[in-house]
Amino acid sequence: MHRLAATPGGWTPDTEGVIFVEQTPAPLVLLTAADTEIQSLARASFPESFPGLRVANLLQLQQQLAIDTYADDVLRHAKIIVLRMLGGRAYWPYGLEVVRAVVAETGAALIVLPGDDRPAPDLISHSTVPLTVANQLWRYLNEGGVENMANGLLWVCDRILHTQYNPPEPQEVPRVGMYALTPSPSPWGRGEPEAPTAKIGLIFYRAHYLAGNTAPIDALCHALGRRGLEPVPLFVASLQDPEVQADLVNLLRPGSSEGIDVLLNTTSFSVAKLDGAKPNLALWEALDVPVLQVILSGGTREAWESQSLGLSPRDIAMNVALPEVDGRIITRAVSFKAVSQRSEALETDVVTYEPMPDRVEFVADLAARWAKLRRTPVGDRRVAVILANYPNRDGRLANGVGLDTPQSAIAVLHALKAAGYTLSDIPTDGDELIQRLTAGVTNDPEGQDFRQIHQALSLADYAEHFATLPIAVQNGITARWGVAGGEGERERGGEGEGDEIQNSKFKIQSSIPHASTFPIAGIQRGNVFIGIQPSRGYDLDPSLNYHSPDLEPTHDYLAFYQW
């Protein structure tokens, strides 16, 4: 067994060894899943007579042995234990059981509270203090910030330990507010005033605002300013609150000349309630702008870089899968957790978000392009509709279990035309669409040499795009499929047409009309392109690539052209 120190981002199931949170005993212990609460308490000033306080993140107490050890070393000596749980009892079931057993034995006061502003009677019922005490502390913690967090603990000490701090009542903090960035980013990154090309909304949690954990938000705002865009950053308590949604719509002013063109959202989960006949998308419908989901990862950069899957399952659920239910456009993780300092008073590391500049720049570029697209006349916009093709056979083109995908594509094309997009010669039905697609080159290896090529990518254009990829990605592609235009590339024409060509890397079948072009499967109708999903590589057995974790989308599309 390995003994590991607690790390920011918490424990993950594949961690080798047991993570222990090592602290000395104190009269008051607060366990929370929110790093922002730890940040606020680390900044707070307490009277000299204030009892010792220990704070730990629940994400670092996930293994049973770690929980048992912490209970013996710290919790058994506490007089007050405050437990903040986001996600209900199921979030930390064994820990809650252990804490209840400890207080039953020691007589300590236990206050179990939900980690958000939604009432949770099943959680509060585990408290051993009167409901009025638990509810008032909940009010302090919900308002949040340095002063409210500190005053809440002072107040609970007065009620349970009979101290005489007499803190003020919880101070209300707006649930929605404009974030004043200092210095304010000016368009194009210069000091002189200049009209921005577009306004970009930016939403983040109020908890980060109150804790001063805004480095990623500041970085995004400055990156937008350097592109001539005006950031409109707002903090929110929760997007689930209808009043918060109404305030957002009023502040962002969609549809007006002063409204936003794009919204960057860093909050997690989904607002579309799926308990009715259809999702509740009233907020997004009222804003009526592209919503780009920006990920503030709950893990560390080191963990992200070392894992083949990148983001943790928790991050994927909270910041990718659930936001996609709302129709948000997923971008990238722009920041990760890092230890900014050690709080000796709390005996814990203070974890904050650390932005990654290159990924911040990527999101800012993406926002600029979406803003430009929004201001482009509908008739001038170009759209690609890509149909699935898995496995790579024509019989599996546009396949979907229980779905008539080709006919759905026809409906989408008619909707685009009705909305004003430049589109002509729409196939009459799904069958005709498939017939037109399969008349040209597809992913199906049978007949590729005899089918018409409607459009192609030049080797020069391919090389230009390829050069923009990270070196590691370039090396991965060339190691797997060779160098475009180099030895072993597919050739066609003249003597040996149709012969298999083999090099040290792979064996492939010739199919392109000229060594300097790469066929692209699909048909163009006005400004709308109906294409076929590129293959995940052209090995002898393509099925080896279907679920390969090292084939990212970038690999997929460039491998399609790597002929």
Dist CA 46 CA 55 (whole Å):
14
How much is the pLDDT for 410? Answer: 98
Is residue 330 within 8 Å of 294, Cβ to Cβ? no
How much is the pLDDT for 186? Answer: 63
What mean pLDDT is predicted for residues 462-473? 89
Whether the bond into 391 is cis, omega within 30 of 0 = yes
SS3 content of the chain, % helix, strand, coil (to 5): 40, 20, 40
* 43 Cβ contact partners less than 8 Å away, ≥ 6 residues apart: 146, 211, 212
User: What's the pLDDT band for 546 if we cut at 50, 70, 90?
Assistant: low
304-339: pLDDT as tens digits:
998 878 899 989 999 999 999 999 999 999 999 999
How much is the pLDDT for 502? Answer: 34
How much is the pLDDT for 17? Answer: 67
Is residue 191 within 8 Å of 220, Cβ to Cβ? no
Beta strands in 86-241 (DSSP E): 109-114, 176-178, 198-205, 229-236
Q: At 200, phi and psi to the nearest 5?
A: -120, 115
Nearest CA to 424 out of 433, 413, 432, 415 is that of 413
* 272 Cβ contact partners less than 8 Å away, ≥ 6 residues apart: 279, 280, 281, 325, 326
Residue 520 is inside which H or E element, if any? strand 517-520
Q: pTM score, two decimals?
A: 0.83
Is residue 19 within 8 Å of 7, Cβ to Cβ? yes
DSSP letters spanning 122-165: HHHTT-SS-HHHHHHHHHHHHH-SHHHHHHHHHHHHHHHT----
> What's the distance, Cα to Cα, between the start and end of the chain in Å?
50
How many Å is the maximal CA-CA distance in the chain? 97
Q: How many CB atoms lie within 10 A of CB 452?
A: 8
84-119: pLDDT as tens digits:
998 788 889 999 999 999 999 999 999 999 998 888
Which one has a higher pLDDT value, 418 or 340? 418
Give CA torsion, residues 537, 543, 549, 554, to 10 deg: 20
Please compute, for residue 251, the number of CA atoms within 13 A of its CA located in the half-sphere on the CB side. Answer: 23
272-307: pLDDT as tens digits:
977 777 888 999 999 999 999 999 999 999 999 988
User: What's the pLDDT band for 9 if we cut at 50, 70, 90?
Assistant: low
How much is the pLDDT for 257? Answer: 83
User: What's the pLDDT band for 405 if we cut at 50, 70, 90?
Assistant: very high
